[in-house]
Structure formats: C-alpha cells, structure tokens
Amino acid sequence: MSLPVFLWSCGELPARGTEVEFTGPEARHAVTVKRLAIGEQFLLIDGRGTGVIATVTAVDAKDKLRVSVGEGVDKRARKPRVTVVQAIPKSERAELAVDLATQGGADRIVPWQAERCIAKWGGKAEKAVAKWRNQALAAAKQSRRFSVPEVTELATSAEVAELIRGGDGVAVLLHEEASVPFASLNYRAAAEVVLVIGPEGGLSPDEVARFTEAGAQAVRLGPEVLRTASAALVALSALGVLTDRW
C-alpha cells in the first residue's frame, strides 16, 4: 500500500538524516485521523513535485510529531502543463469539480464566473476560493500527488480571454456544438494547454466569440455532453494519452 502523504508548509523540505518537528493541521491529521505511530513512515511533500520519506520517532501531542527524514523522492513535471478554467458549478458539485481535476493532474485551476453560472460567488469569493484550495490539497494527498495544483482567485471572462491570449500553447473550449474533435489538435508540441470548462447552461455565444478571438479553439470532447464537474477529468485523461503526461 502507498505511503500516506502530508504537506510540509515550513519552507524547504528538511534534509536527509535530520530529525525535525512536524506540527500544525497536517500533523494533527496524521495523529488523529491516520493514527500514525512510532516507526511508521509517510511521505512529506513540498507541494511542488518533491518529497521525502519520513519515519515517526515520537508523538508528542495531537498535533505534533518528531520525524526522522530519509531519502528524497520526486516526480517529473508532466508536460504540457495544464490549466483548467472551471466555470463555477452549483454548490454541491463545486468541490467535486476541483477534486476530479486534481485527481486528473491539473497544474492550475482557475474558477470562472461565466455568464450562465447558476452559482454567483459575489462577496463570498474569498471564502469559496479557500474551500477550493483546501479541496485541491485533500485530493492531491489522496491521489498521492507530489504537487498541489494552484487555485487562483476568481476570474472574469475578460481575464480568461487575457489568459488565453498570453498563453504558450493550446487553448480549447469544450463546446457541445463544436465540430472539431478534441483529439485532432497537436497538444504534444505545446508548453501549456488551457482547458475552458463551461457551466451547466453551456458557453454563451459572446463567450465563444471572445475566447476564440483570443486564440482558443472550440472542440468537441466526445459524443456525450458531460457534466461541468466531470468534464475536466475526462479531458485530462484524454490528454494523458495524447501527450507524454502518462
């Protein structure tokens, strides 16, 4: 069974051969939920692709461990880098969308207030973004990722258009009315892929026009119309096959 994963949030990972104190919310989870005991091992990651194997040497409190730091481990950065622009789903599916995109390997997640979003964050944006970031961390640990996807602040359509225009690669709009197959584009040569996922009500004509003018391509992912919460995972899985990400 794979080792459990916890995030080290105190700067650079500790060096091999040292013994350090591991505290805070992540340590509390290790003690009270995972119930790690003396002699057990886990992966301590920096959230950017690198980790170390840690062995518990003492449990000092409900949120404090002493650990001995062993060998370092890392996972190669997957190419191309993928940014998921996710229209805000309805509340019960919002965190599911982040969870699935993280499991699928998204490098960055941009919450987007699309025209047809049922959910409106308004003054709750800061709190909502924090929830998305917590969900991304939880999903990264669950899927044994060494990197935690960046979750940005809430973006407007104008900001998404600028993201597309300033990108270094391929940007696609998953659009049920598109005729171009998702698999027909050359993703392998791109440094970055931007996936724009519309809301439950779909992309508006104005959004399609704005984003295609900025350089995006409207594509059809497959014969079925996917829920907004699962579309990123399906697209990321397809990219895994079409590029060197898998």
* pLDDT mean over 2-21: 90
Model confidence pLDDT, tens digit, residues 22-73: 999 999 999 999 899 999 999 999 988 899 999 999 998 888 899 999 998 8
Parse the chain into domains and list their residue ranges: 5-74, 81-242
Model's pTM, two decimal places? 0.88
Residue at 121: amino acid letter = W
Beta-strand (E) ranges in 16-149? 19-23, 41-45, 50-61, 64-74, 81-87, 108-112
Considering the segment(s) 81-242 as one domain, its CATH architecture is 3-Layer(aba) Sandwich (3.40)
Q: What is the per-residue pLDDT for 1?
A: 64
Model confidence pLDDT, tens digit, residues 75-128: 777 899 999 999 999 877 899 999 999 999 999 999 999 999 998 998 899 999
Q: What is the per-residue pLDDT for 122?
A: 86
5-74 CATH choice from 2.40.110.10, 3.40.50.2000, 2.40.10.220, 2.40.240.20: 2.40.240.20
Cis omega (within 30 of 0) for bond into 14: no
Residue 74 or residue 154, greater confidence: 154
